C-alpha cells in the first residue's frame, strides 16, 4: 500500500539535487531530469513553494524505514 505524505520543505543534497522533506520525516529526491522525469517546478523557489502541501508517494513509509535526519529545519529556497 502506497503511503501519501505532504511536502513540508526542500533542501539540496551534496550534488545540488533538490530533495523534498515529507511530513512523515522521510526525504525524497524531486529531480527535473527530462525526458524521464518532468518536474520543472523544482527549478525555481516559486515552483517549490507552490508544491508545499502536495502529496507524494512515500516508499520509505511503506517499508517502515526510520526517519531521515538531515537537515533539521525545512528550507524553502
The confidence score (pLDDT) of residue 77 equals 52
How far is the C-alpha of 27 from the C-alpha of 18, rounded, in Å?
A: 10
Domain contains 7: yes
CATH code, 12: 2.40.50
Domain contains 17: yes
Q: Give CA 43 to chain center in angstroms.
A: 13
Question: In the chain, how many domains are there?
Answer: 1
The confidence score (pLDDT) of residue 71 equals 57
Q: Across residues 3-24, what is the average pLDDT?
A: 94
Q: Which range of residues forms the domain containing residue 12?
A: 3-62
Residue indicated by cell numbers 516508499: 59
Residue indicated by cell numbers 503511503: 3
Contact 3, 12 (CB under 8 A): no
Residues 6+ apart with CB under 8 A from 46: none
Domain contains 77: no
68 pLDDT above the threshold of 90: yes
The confidence score (pLDDT) of residue 76 equals 52
pLDDT tens figures, 23-66: 999 999 998 888 888 999 999 999 999 999 999 999 999 999 99
Amino acid at each position: 500500500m502506497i503511503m501519501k505524505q505532504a511536502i513540508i520543505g526542500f533542501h539540496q543534497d551534496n550534488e545540488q539535487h533538490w530533495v523534498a522533506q515529507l511530513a512523515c520525516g522521510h526525504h525524497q529526491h524531486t529531480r527535473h531530469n527530462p525526458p524521464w522525469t518532468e518536474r520543472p517546478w523544482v527549478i525555481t523557489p516559486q515552483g517549490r513553494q507552490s508544491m508545499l502541501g502536495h502529496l507524494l508517494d512515500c516508499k520509505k513509509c511503506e517499508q517502515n524505514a526510520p526517519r531521515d535526519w538531515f537537515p533539521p529545519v525545512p528550507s524553502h529556497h
